[in-house]
Amino acid sequence: MENLQNAIFLDIVPDNWTKRAYPSMSSLAMWFTDLLARIKELEAWSVDFILPSAVWLAGFFNPQSFLTAIMQTMARRNEWPLDSMCLHCDVTKKNREDFSSPPREGAYIHGLFMEGARWDQQVGLIVNARLKELTPTMPVIFIRAIPVDKQDNRNVYQCPVYKTRQRGPTYVWTFNLKTKEKPSKWTLAGVALLLQI
C-alpha cells in the first residue's frame, strides 16, 4: 500500500500495474486517461463487431496482431501464401472524422505521431520537422496487404513504428513512407512513427 501511495503522490504508474499493462512513458494521470480511451474504443468496437471506419492502432495491447490480421485476411481471400505478403502504406490527406466506413480491403489507421521529421500533406512526402514541433500528428494511413514482388521500394524510407519513445523493446512494424531525400537522411535523423507520446 505504501508503494501505491508513493506512486500516486509522485504521479507515476505503480510498478505492479506496469508489469501487467501496455508499455507507456506517461504520468499516472495521462496513463489513466489513455486507459479509459482504450476501454471506450474497444467497447465501441465490441458492440457490433464491425471494423471501425478508422482504427486507433495505439488502442491495441498488441498492434502487431492487428497488422498481421490484415495480411492474413488478404492472403486467404486471394489464396496467396502469407510468407510472400507485406504491408503497403498510403498516407491519406484526411483526418479520422473524414471517413464514414472502412475500406473493402485493409484498414484505415490513425493516432500515429512522427518523431524527427514531419509528413507534408500537400506534397505527400516526409520533410524536415518544423522548429518546436517535436511529434506532429500523422494523417490517417491506409494499410493493405500486397505480394512482396509488387512492392515499390524506390524513393521510400523504411520507417520503424514504435509504441513509445523508448523505442527498442516497443518495436511494432516498419512502414514504407515516400520521400524525395535519400533514406539515409531520415535514418540518421532517427525518424520513427510513435503510437504514443
pLDDT by 10s per residue, the chain, length 197? 888 888 888 888 888 888 888 888 888 888 888 889 888 888 888 887 777 888 888 888 889 999 999 999 888 888 888 888 889 999 998 888 888 888 888 899 998 999 989 999 888 898 898 888 888 999 999 999 988 888 888 889 999 999 888 888 889 898 999 999 898 998 998 899 999 88
> Alpha carbon 169 to chain centroid distance?
15
Q: What is the pTM (predicted TM-score) of this model?
A: 0.84
**pLDDT tens, 154-168?**
889 999 999 888 888
- The confidence score (pLDDT) of residue 192 equals 93
Grid cell for residue 83: 510468407
Residue in this structure with the C-alpha cell 512522427, named with its chain if needed:
114
Counting every residue written for the chain, the total comes to 197
12: which strand partners? none
